[in-house]
Amino acid sequence: MDAEFTRGLALVEKDLEALEVRTMLQGGDDHRDAMVTIHPGAGGLESQDWAGMLMRMYTRWSERGGFWES
């Protein structure tokens, strides 16, 4: 029973996340493009690693959401 509940909860969470994104993207300017730039700060390799992780995170998010990125 716990496994069934966990699966059901995961589906509800996924649906809720999709609904939240659709709700956020309903403004008058939401049909326009957005530009996101990520620059590592003055932290050396650690800063570069963090910037790389952010880039991968946003790239994967945009791919899952059906957004175009370059």
Q: Are residues 40 and 13 in the same domain?
A: no
pLDDT of 46: 94
Whether 67 and 42 share a structural domain: yes
pTM, rounded to two decimals: 0.54
Do 43 and 17 have their domain in common? no
Domain residue limits at 39: 33-70
Distance CA 57, CA 66 (A): 14
Count up the domains in the chain and report the number: 2
Q: Are residues 38 and 67 in the same domain?
A: yes
Q: How far apart are CA 13 and CA 36, in angstroms?
A: 26
Q: For 3-47, what is each residue's pLDDT tens digit? A: 899 999 999 999 999 898 888 877 777 777 788 899 998 889 999
> In this structure, are 6 and 19 located in the same domain?
yes
